[in-house]
Amino acid sequence: MESLRLEAIEAREAIARGKRLGQDSAHAGFLIELVHYNADVWIVLRCGDSGGIALRAPLFTASASVTRKRQKGCLIAWEAQSEIGRFTGELTGEKTGLAQFAYRIHFTAAQTVHLPYFPRDLIPLGKGGDPLAARGTIEAKQRKLNTGLCYLELERPKLGKLLYVQNLTALNPYFLATGTKPESVVGGEWPVLGYLAPTQPGDPSAAIPAGQETVLYDTHLVFRRKAQEDEAESAWQFLDMLGAIYRNLDKPRTVRRPWIERSRRTLRDLARSPKAREQHYGEVYFHPYTSAEYPDSMVQLTLASAIHDWGVWQGKVHPLGAEIRRGLEKFYDPQLKTLRRYLPDVGSDKNPDAVDSWYLYHPLLNLSNLALAGDQDAKALFLRTIDYGIRAAQHFQYKWPIQYDVTDFTVITPVAPADNLGQTDVGGIYAWVTLQAFELTGEVRFLDEARNALEAARGMRFDLNYQANLTAWGAAACIRLWRITNCKTYLALSYVYLASFFHNAQIWESELGLARHYSNFMAVTCLQDAPYMALYECFDSYAAFERFLDLGGPDLIPSAKMLVSEFCRYALHRAWFYYPDTLPKEAIAAKQRNGEIDRALSFPVEDLYPDGQPAGQVGQEVYGAGAAIVFATRAYHRVPGAPFVIFCDYFLRAVTRIDDRTLSLKIDGEDNHVARFALVRTGRAPLPDAIVRKLSGEVITASTATADELCYDVPPFTGLVLSWG
């Protein structure tokens, strides 16, 4: 703690004694100064008597000469020269006049140089520019390799909220040159905050090469002078600020993936591969992993639900669905009146009575999907099991442990070591399941259960997320309960779930190690403490967010709608790389914790790593095989009688057949992004001549035209008319 105080004292001395360079600038009520002191350049942003912040840029030597530069579009630009190289800094402000800033610092080494230490770069300022007089609260900071963010309130003087984001994508060359990774590098302890660049002090070879311009900082700041204190209001403010920064980040271009063909291959492998299936009690059951683990109820039902969706999309029932459903009854325990995790003949190496809290409810979610689709057997089984789920929720007072005994609710594992909390977001998926029960039965008691579960999550703030897909279903449940009750409290509560979800997102593209072979942009870690991204949590979150956006409609705050839409859009793009046949052999782990990886099977690996570790260390998910189907049936749209399907990487709304060869539709999303909209040939017949128009009549020209695809770049939130010959 003493070293942190010393850095604050250094900031105070620099502001008081440093050399001011050039005239002050101003933007959005902030006075901006450029200060050189010893071996640092400081940019000081003050807001009258309300304090401010100082941004520190190390020059690593006191002999550096610093000059102010005039540069178009910059509030402040500077250059520093020293024996180790050349530094440049550029501070820009948001063109709309909002209190939003971007600050990028480049370094070009005169010769290969090893930099053993960086200071943190953000110091809040109190009255008179004194960091030691500033008081505030850190609400959220970077978790592992997720977005490099720090969300804080500047309380004394009362300056409001600040969201600081370090754009880690731009820093890839630094990480690669120094052999480092940006794990938990943004945060700090008050008042020394911001980004602490990773270094290898003991390895001189971890150096920046000569003559190569390297980004050392790509900092984004958003201030909101009116700090929202309430949990839900603070959450939407965080989403609004994160959305403001997101709009200004460079993003990877998405690629349309052939999810339809992937789905067909997956269904073929599920039907044929002995590594995926085995028989018990005369019925077929699926392993969780390739050639590994005992069949369980969650695996069977997630596959059954996805395969049902495929049948609806195709207009033809797939036989695998009935094959799975025939075996579901064996999971039912008539004494407990619940679905067990395992079949009665599970091996002695498993505790048949142990269940993770979320594992009780996820099978019920998919069972209720089948029930609402008209499957009477599924409805009967769901209604026989839901009351046990309610008893469990009430027993734990809607705050679930990690694992417990289904026979008597004895807690086996109370909390996770990482945060000393239980499965904090199980109430979200439980609320969704009870709302499904309400839709099936009309019984108000199920609404009461949903309310109780969501209310119990209050106060969790950024600790709400335990497992990404559960958090996503919680957000969807809030919106659904709001639509049913017209109580806007639940609309506001949905933003708490979303804020915690996106706190665990990776809003950057890694080039570290083997990660160069895949994409992690806008991914989320599967658990709050996990080192990897998992496909099951990805596609299940995608499915939840489809419902969230559909139910939310135009009443959602724009930033929340935009971030959710962008997560779904990039899920379609990056999820492709979970399939082992898309990765080079050297990118896949040699050994698996569960089973094996068979590159010939169209099942995804469980785990991809933002730091570029080998993929598939956990195993190959048979239980995640429904991913391709979920993506195909949501992103591709069949047009009866047409020789094509429509693809869009944002959700389509209000699709209306005007006549035999004309459709009107609307693309969901935010209008300052670009949607990928395509007509994809489905058979031997050639693609017809097609015209895509905006409602204004303006014709949109295809950006790509091949024998198999006509692709258009279209602004989301746009109404279109599609006609073909």
CA 374 to chain centre: 33
Rounded-to-integer distance, Cα 131 and Cα 194, Å: 14
In the chain, the amino acid numbered 270 is L
**What single DSSP character describes residue 508?**
S
pLDDT given for residue 49 in this prediction: 78
pLDDT given for residue 548 in this prediction: 98
The residue length of the chain stands at: 725
pLDDT in tens, 679-713: 999 999 999 999 999 999 999 999 999 999 999 99
Residue 4: pLDDT band with limits 50, 70, 90:
low
564 vs 670, more confident: 564
Largest CA distance in the chain: 83
Residue pointed to by tokens 């009362």 = 158
pLDDT given for residue 1 in this prediction: 43
Strand partners of residue 76 = 91
In the chain, the amino acid numbered 120 is R
pLDDT given for residue 2 in this prediction: 42
308 vs 2, more confident: 308
Residue pointed to by tokens 């080039």 = 511
Residue 529: pLDDT band with limits 50, 70, 90:
confident
Q: What is the mean pLDDT of residues 617-646?
A: 98
pLDDT given for residue 672 in this prediction: 80
Q: What is the mean pLDDT of residues 375-385?
A: 98
709 burial level (CB within 10 Å; 0-12, 13-18, 19+): middle
Rounded-to-integer distance, Cα 622 and Cα 608, Å: 16
Q: What is the mean pLDDT of residues 110-129?
A: 96
Strand partners of residue 523 = 506
Residue 268: pLDDT band with limits 50, 70, 90:
very high
Return phi, psi of residue 255, to 5°.
-125, 135
pLDDT in tens, 204-237: 999 999 999 999 999 999 999 999 999 999 999 9
pLDDT in tens, 298-322: 999 999 999 999 999 999 999 999 9
Residue pointed to by tokens 């309310």 = 451
How does the average pLDDT of the chain come out, rounded?
A: 97
Q: What is the mean pLDDT of residues 546-550?
A: 98
Distances 115 to 22, 43, 97, 127, 209 between C-alpha atoms, Å: 29, 22, 37, 34, 11
pLDDT in tens, 326-352: 999 999 999 999 999 999 999 999 999
Q: What is the mean pLDDT of residues 442-453?
A: 99
Can you list the alpha helix ranges (DSSP code H) found in 23-178? 172-178
112 has a pLDDT exceeding 60: yes
Residue 716: pLDDT band with limits 50, 70, 90:
confident
Q: What is the mean pLDDT of residues 577-587?
A: 98
Q: What is the mean pLDDT of residues 493-510?
A: 98
pTM: 0.97
Exposed e or buried b for every residue in 370-386, given b needs 16+ CB within 10 A? bbeeebeebbebbeebb
Q: What is the mean pLDDT of residues 30-35?
A: 97
Q: What is the mean pLDDT of residues 466-486?
A: 98
pLDDT given for residue 533 in this prediction: 98
pLDDT given for residue 413 in this prediction: 98
Continuous segment of H or E residues that includes residue 260: helix 259-272
Can you list the alpha helix ranges (DSSP code H) found in 161-254? 172-178, 231-246
